[in-house]
Structure 1
Amino acid sequence: MPKAKVTFEDVGVTVIVPAGTRLIEVSEKVGAGITYGCREGECCTCLTRVVSGGEHLAAPSVLEDQVLKDNMAPRNHRLACQAQVLGGEIVVKPA
């Protein structure tokens, strides 16, 4: 199974996770500062800046894309509850 290396800049922690893992799941395990509300991709509470490696995340779903637009999220931001890692190296930071 492919693995990904995810770094949380806010806490300086890097972990290796299986592909398909959502960023919010990893954040919870390492104690990073990504907060969340609904976990359904609707509230935008878990907005997270992708510092690097965005190409190693699954493309946003139609719902996530709409929520990001509705909330005028800056470029390179994703919803941690929706963003799934595919592999490679990813660096994120709470928005």
Structure 2
Amino acid sequence: MPKAKVTFQDIGVSVTVPAGTRLIEVSEKVGAGITYGCREGECCTCLTKIISGGENLASPSVLEDQVLKDNMAPRGHRLACQAQIIGGEIVVKPA
């Protein structure tokens, strides 16, 4: 199974995770500062800035895309509960 490296800029921690993992799952395991509410992609609480490696995340679902638009999320931000890692290296920080 492919692996990916995720770096949480807020706490300076990098971890290697299997592809298919969602950012919020990794954040919980390492104690990063990404907060969340619903975990269903509806509340926008887990909005996360993708510093680099956005191409290493699966494209936003229709739901995530709509929630980002409805909440006027800045470009380069994703919902950590929805953003699925597909490989490579990604650097993120809480929005």
1:86 aligned residue: 86
**1:22 equivalent in alignment to 2:22:** yes
TM-score normalized with structure 1 length: 1.00
Give, in whole Å, the separation in 1 of the partners of 2:85 and 2:63: 18
Aligned pairs, number: 95
Shift of 1:48: 0.1
1:11-90 paired onto structure 2 within 5 Å: 11-90=11-90
Alignment TM-score, normalising by the size of structure 2: 1.00
Q: CA deviation at 1:47?
A: 0.1
RMSD: 0.2
Point out where structure 2 has 5 or more consecutive residues left out of the alignment: none
1:16-68 Cα offsets, whole Å, 9 max, x none, are: 00000000000000000000000000000000000000000000000000000
SS at match of 2:92: strand
3-state SS in 2 of match to 1:63: helix
Percent identical residues: 87
